[in-house]
Chain A
Amino acid sequence: METFKIILPATDYVAVLPQMVLVATALIVLIMGVFKKFVNTSGVGLTALAGSVLALACALFVGHHGGPSSSFAGMVLDDGFSYFLTLVICIIIVLTILVSLNYGVFFENVKSGEYYSLVLFAGVGMVFMATAGNLILLFVALETMSISIYALTGFHKDQLKSGEAALKYFLMGAFGSAFLLYGFAYIYGATGSLDIIKISNFIKTHPQILHLKFMVAGFVLMLAGLGFKISMVPFHMWTPDTYEGAPTSITGFMATGVKAAAFAALIRVILVPLAPMQHSWVSLMWVAIFLTMTVGNLIALAQENIKRMLAYSSIAHAGYILLGFLSGTGLAQAGMLYYLMVYAFMNIGAFAVVALLCKKGEEFNNISDFAGLGFKYPLLGLVMTVFLFSLAGLPPTGGFMGKFYLFTEALRSGYVWLVVAAGVNSVVSIYYYLRVVVIMYFKPEVTENAVVLTAVSPGIIIALAVATTAVLIMGVLPSYFFSFAGNSIFSLM
């Protein structure tokens, strides 16, 4: 009888250290939540914060030394791309927890252990999505993330809106996963492997399989499945409803973290291995990108609810990022990563401001609630203005540089009309972002039921300060971050 030896070198565990820290913290937090009698309620959130900061430190200092490598028999890839996205996602988790600490003052249930552990588990899923080298791990990570977020969306159990948002997200999310899996099945059938690197090599050595119907069907189905997650038109229906109904701290998390992880999967699974197929998806993607930008921006013009407006704006931003996908060059992919990083800071920042405007058990989400806020709370108004300028793509913010990189690469690849459409869309989007700024500074304050900042904890001040600084620095000194993104793309396995 044969004996099996399983040898796992020590470096394997180093490659997943941030994930291990996140899982351990999530479990500790969950247990702390159960022993409410013995643990101070703020202790739960602070433990989660400490754990996520530790994970960020691990991602920053321990991961990725030397060239690209894979561990756990090719399941986890440790290259520059993993490093970059692990960092971005860990930053998103830390910022989300900082925002949640303050949001918990208004909503008692957000203080609980299960809230923080679900956030951390969703974060683990996102990190694994960005580092997965095998479609099996990618799928399990995607579902770890999604299932945690379904539960978090419905976390305001007393609000029907929250439950409705969870229902819609759940049904659409599960529907999308089924498409993604069917796509995986066809790719597996055509290439005989679920390992992304083996798929990539197989396609390089057997170019004739690109004409198989299986490959084309697999590509379209995978694109549809990931399209649900990045809210690409026509798979965007759930986005505004879910973003509006979910707790604001979670909306920021969904808009940035889920999108970053899904774009990472898009680059890893479709853009890199299926690159030889590129000519066959140009027209399809052209139409999808045009619709994504235009639909998102046009409907955002008509919104009165700020969360809903930011939801439509996030659809439009997905369109801009997909421009990099269509161009497909290395620099365009670096532009995508750069934009994902800026987008994380500016969007979490904007949602953090929205999450501040609450009172006990109630959110102020109407754009009219912002009237007079700019003079009443000058710093808050200034910070929100920076985020909105960045979202609109005005200099000197990171959003401007991100769009600049994506648009120039698309132009260089020859998509002139699409870039023109993107430019027109950016101009249109300035209207609805600046409308909020105008209301903040030039509308007199409403007299009844006015917004009062009742609780501003140090956590959210740190989060806002970090996000504002990052958005401005990435706008003024973009080359450092862009070359970081570029290096991470070029060491992609």
Chain B
Amino acid sequence: MNDYQSVYLALSAILFGVGVLGVISRKDAIVVFLCIEIMLGAVNLAFVAFARANQSAEGLFMVMCIMAVAGAEAAIGLAIFVLLYRKTGTINIDKFNLLKW
């Protein structure tokens, strides 16, 4: 029954790693945000795999909550991006350096 659990977990870890690398290396705010969404996808996959292994529904409920919250987060994030784009015409995170040290 749980034969594939390690496969799912490995995939989830790889996806999480891809997300982390993307957040660290990419400069476009939207791409960075999408990488965070990839990380959340990895988390969801891990929860589903564990929920199947544990035979409990709690993990599945957590996945629903994560998806709902990710939607709310996207809404506020895109609002911030639009605000900055209107002001500066760019959302490259390297261009925002008013605040340092």
- A residues near B, CB below 8 A? 135-136, 139-140, 143, 147, 150-151, 154, 157, 160-161, 163-168, 170-171, 174-175, 178, 181-182, 184-186, 188-189, 192-195, 240-241, 244-245, 299, 302
The 5 closest A-B pairs by CB, nearest first: A189-B50, A178-B39, A185-B46, A241-B99, A192-B54
Given known A-B contacts A139-B65, A170-B77, A181 and B56 have beta carbons under 8 A apart: no
Task: Number of B interface residues at 8 Å Cβ cutoff, please give it.
Answer: 45
- The residues of B that contact A154 with a CB separation of less than 8 Å are 80, 83
**Which residues of B lie under 8 Å from residue A157 when comparing CB positions?**
83
Main secondary structure of the interface of A (DSSP, over half): helix
Nearest chain A CB to B75 CB, angstrom units = 9
With A167-B93, A171-B33, A194-B58 in contact, is A139–B46 under 8 Å at CB?
no
Closest to B97 in A: A164
Q: Is the CB of B47 within 8 A of A160?
A: no
Residues from chain A with Cβ under 8 Å of B40 in the complex: 178, 181
Q: Are A151 and B76 in contact (CB under 8 A)?
A: yes
Of the candidates A139, A166, A186, the one whose C-beta lies within 8 Å of that of B80 is A166
Q: Give B13-53 interface residues, CB cut-off 8 Å to A.
A: 16, 19, 23, 29, 32-33, 36, 39-40, 42-43, 46-47, 49-51, 53
Residues of A within 8 A of B77 (CB): 150, 170-171, 174
Distance in Å: Cβ of A252 to nearest Cβ of chain B:
18
Interface of B is mostly: helix
B43, B53, B80, B88: which contacts A181 (Cβ < 8 A)? Answer: B43
Whole-angstrom distance between the Cβ of A165 and the nearest chain B Cβ: 7
Q: Which residues of B come within 8 Å of A, CB atoms? A: 9, 12, 16, 19, 23, 29, 32-33, 36, 39-40, 42-43, 46-47, 49-51, 53-54, 56, 58-59, 61-62, 65-66, 69, 72-73, 76-77, 79-81, 83-84, 87-88, 93, 96, 98-101
Is B73 touching A143 in the complex (CB atoms < 8 A)? yes
**Is the Cβ of A163 less than 8 Å from the Cβ of B80?**
yes
Q: Which residues of B contact A184 (CB under 8 A)?
A: 62
A144 CB to closest chain B CB (Å) equals 9
Q: Of A185, A186, A302, which contacts B101 at CB under 8 A? A: A302
A372 to B93, CA, bound (A): 39
Residues from chain B with Cβ under 8 Å of A181 in the complex: 40, 43, 66
Question: Once the chains are docked, how many angstroms separate the CA of A186 from the CA of B62?
Answer: 13
Given known A-B contacts A150-B76, A167-B93, A193-B56, A178 and B36 have beta carbons under 8 A apart: yes
Question: Is B76 a contact partner of A136 (Cβ separation < 8 A)?
Answer: no
* A150-B80 in contact given A164-B98, A192-B56, A244-B99 (Cβ < 8 Å): yes
